[in-house]
Every structure is written in C-alpha cells, then in structure tokens.
Amino acid sequence: MPDKTAPDAARRSQRSRQAICEAALSLVGETGYDKLTIEGIAARAGVGKQTIYRWWPSKGAVLLDAFTETMEAGEGTLPDTGDLATDLKAVLRATVDEFNDPAFQAPYRALYVAMVNDSEVSAGFTSKVMEPGTQAYVDRIRAAQDAGEVSEDIDPRLAAELILGPFAQRWLLRSQPLTHEFADSLVDMALTGLRPRNPRA
Amino acid sequence: MPDKTAPDAARRSQRSRQAICEAALSLVGETGYDKLTIEGIAARAGVGKQTIYRWWPSKGAVLLDAFTETMEAGEGTLPDTGDLATDLKAVLRATVDEFNDPAFQAPYRALYVAMVNDSEVSAGFTSKVMEPGTQAYVDRIRAAQDAGEVSEDIDPRLAAELILGPFAQRWLLRSQPLTHEFADSLVDMALTGLRPRNPRA
C-alpha cells in the first residue's frame, strides 16, 4: 500500500505557506513595515510562530517570498512593435497604474524598506524582482539597437537604468505625482538626450 | 539683575539635542534601522527617553534631524565651468565617493528606510534633503539651457531626475558597483540620449 501521509503533509505545508504569505501581504498593507511582526503574521495566518521561523529568518524574507509569488509568469518580456518609444511608453504607463494601486503599493513599499535595511533581503529582492524586470528592458533596448533605433555604443543595461531609475525614485520619494505624462516625458528625454539635436538648425 | 537661568537652560537643551543626534547616527551605523530604538538612543546620549519624545515623535524623525544637521551649508550649488558634462561628472564622482563611505552610508540608508516607511519622515526628507540637492542640478541645467548647451524644450527638473534617479537606485539596490566610470557614463548617456545622433553618417 502506498504511503499517503507524505503527500498530505506536503499539501498541508503548501497551505500553511500560502496562508502565511497572504497574511504578510494583507497585514503590511494595514500596519506598515515597522509594526509588522512575525507574531502578527502567525496570528493572522492561524499558524504557530515556529512554523514561520522554520521557513524564513525574518519578516523581510517572508515579504519577499510573498511578493514574488504574486508576480505573474511571463512578465519577463516587453512588447516589440518595432517602435521603441511606443513600447517603452506602453509598459511604463501600465507600471504607473500598478504603482499607484494601494494593494500593490503597500507591500512593495514594505519590501523596499526590508531591502534597503537588510543586505540579505536586498540580494533576494535584486535577483528575484529587480533583475528580471530590468532584463526585460535590456532585451528590448538591445533589439532596438540591432534595428538601428539605438546607438551602437550604448550599454543597454545602463540605458535600462536611465529609464527605470527616475521612475523608481519618483515613486519612492513621493516628491512628484507618478503619471502617464511623466512616463512619456521620461522615455522621450532618455531617447533624445539633453543636448540639442540640431544646434544649427 | 538679568535672569541667568534661561540661557543656561537653552544651552543645556542644545547640548542634549546634539548628544541625541550624535547617538542616533552612531547607533544606527552599528545596529541598522530595524534594531534602532528610542531607548537605545537615550541610553547612548545619557538622557531620559522622555527628553527625546519631547522633541521627536519617532526614531525616523530623530534620524532626519541628526542627518540634516551634519549637512554642510553651501551644498546648494554646482560648479559652472561652462561645460555641463565636466561639471556634472565632477559632482557625481564626488557623490560616488561620499556614498561609498560607510560613515555616510549607514545613516543615509537608515534615513531612506525611515522615509520609505513613514510618509511624515518622507515629507521632511524630501524637503530638507532631496529637494535642495535636486534643485542644485536643476539650476545648473537651466544655466546650460541659457547657454545653448541643452535643448530649449527640455524640462530641467525632469533632466535632473534623469541623472539622479539611476544613481540613487544603483546605490539603494547594491545591484552594481557605484564607480566613477558609472558616473561618467550616466552623464554622457543622459546628455546624448539613446537614439543615434547621426543616423546617416
């Protein structure tokens, strides 16, 4: 007779992990990062504190896994219509909408806190969240380079940072509103550069 | 006879504030933001917890004041040699050195955490730290615009963000090293833009 306990245990573990991740995301949206505790997550998820510590070393680590599990597969590529400006603006406008959504913003902001604060969470955040997102821009910019839309001597990685950096900073600092107009202007400025294109025209 | 107690009290207050700010900066460098507490700052500064709460609502607020008091007056302008690329690179290289210095990095990183986490600290951080720094770039870029070095239709504020955003993000994410070469490449790319300058040359 086959052993039925092992799959059951695995299913129970999977359910507990899922409950813990959902509890962490909903709770951080209510309390903010500072007041988020492992105890609070455990209580909300209906598990013991030790269950959480068995899988994660810190609240930041829980948040990171919780957040990456909500990320959709297939976010790894940008559209390619043959016009780089159009494609970058479309993706960046969608990202504006996402970052202005409180349900997304609260846990992502908390994750940023955890990441800035903790170099281990930072490494996971960079490799699981930021790098795949950045790489999608790098790939699209490289394709534009092959098509002659982008200068040959441009480093696609730095070019991706030129667009993503100002976006992330404006969101983080809450200094100015994050709008579609901002997304469009940022893309145009990065593509065109500050120097006059036709100084003698 | 003039009242001598008031100036003495003011001096004592000033000394306590100073001790609290120094304690907060040194302590956060040792413990990180998560483990920083008002109790710990009070113990290090040799004052009572209530003395701190009389002046500041949170550890983030203490850090913000402590940090802004260390900022030097006159950081508000960029050099103007008549060549924008040279000036931006000089300032950005100096900023690279500053951000790679652990004595600066630890409290500044903690302040970033406090800021992302807390919208009140965020407002103070933006107005006291980020805006003056950004404004110096805006002013220098506007001067370059007047000199014909920068296109007339460029928004100097967005142009400043185009340079400062990728810099801040690379530092925050620890994804890639913060070097003089990065500073130079960032300035060149922002000035030139991604699109080929002479597509038919």
| Alpha-carbon gap, residue A179 to A156, rounded angstroms | 25
As a dihedral over the C-alpha atoms of residue B22, residue B25, residue B26, residue B32, rounded to 10 degrees, the angle is 160
Is residue A118 predicted with pLDDT exceeding 50?
yes
Is residue B74 predicted with pLDDT exceeding 80?
no
Is residue A113 predicted with pLDDT exceeding 90?
no
Residue with the bigger pLDDT between A167 and B29: it is A167
Residue with the bigger pLDDT between A118 and B127: it is B127
Average pLDDT over residues B116-121: 78
CATH number assigned to the domain with residue range B5-58, chosen from the 4 options 1.10.10.60, 3.40.190.10, 3.40.50.150, 1.10.10.10:
1.10.10.60
Residue with the bigger pLDDT between A24 and B130: it is A24
DSSP summary character for residue A166: H
Residue of B33, B83, B88, B173 to mutate, interface with A, max A Cβ within 10 Å: B173
Q: How confident is the model at residue A67 (pLDDT cuts 50, 70, 90)?
A: confident
pLDDT of residue A74: 52
The CATH H-level superfamily of A5-57 is: Homeodomain-like (1.10.10.60)
**Do A193 and B190 count as a contact with CB atoms less than 8 A apart?**
yes
ipTM of the complex: 0.84
Is residue B102 predicted with pLDDT exceeding 50?
yes
pLDDT of residue A201: 45
**Do B109 and A117 count as a contact with CB atoms less than 8 A apart?**
yes
Residues of B whose CB is below 8 A from A84: 194
What is the CB-side half-sphere exposure of residue B162 using CA atoms within 13 A?
32
pLDDT of residue B75: 61
Average pLDDT over residues B95-106: 88
Average pLDDT over residues A13-18: 91
Is residue B168 predicted with pLDDT exceeding 50?
yes
**Do B33 and A197 count as a contact with CB atoms less than 8 A apart?**
no
Please give the mean pLDDT across all residues of chain B: 88
* Through-space distance between the first and last CA atoms of chain B, rounded to whole angstroms: 85
Average pLDDT over residues B42-70: 92
Q: How confident is the model at residue B201 (pLDDT cuts 50, 70, 90)?
A: very low
**Six-digit token string for A105:** 């913003």
Hey, where are the domains in chain A?
5-57, 84-192
**Do B151 and A194 count as a contact with CB atoms less than 8 A apart?**
yes
Percent of chain B residues past pLDDT 90, beyond the cut: 57
Average pLDDT over residues B139-153: 96
Closest to A51 measured CA to CA, from A24, A28, A17, A11: A17
Interface of B with A in 182-201 (CB under 8 A): 182, 185-186, 189-197, 199
Size of interface A-B (CB pairs under 8 A): 166
Average pLDDT over residues A97-107: 87
pLDDT of residue B72: 62
Average pLDDT over residues A61-80: 81
Locate tokens 């500064």: which residue? B45
CATH number assigned to the domain with residue range A84-192, chosen from the 4 options 1.10.10.10, 3.20.20.70, 3.90.280.10, 1.10.357.10:
1.10.357.10
* Cβ–Cβ < 8 Å for A161, B169: yes
B161, closest residue in chain A (CA to CA): A166
**Six-digit token string for B117:** 């986490």
| Alpha-carbon gap, residue B89 to B84, rounded angstroms | 8
A150, closest residue in chain B (CA to CA): B195
* Cβ–Cβ < 8 Å for A147, B154: no
pLDDT of residue B103: 81
**Six-digit token string for B165:** 């955003």
* DSSP string computed for B156-180: HHHHHHHHHHHHHHHHHHT-S---H
Average pLDDT over residues A172-182: 89
Percent of chain A residues past pLDDT 70, beyond the cut: 94
Average pLDDT over residues A134-161: 96
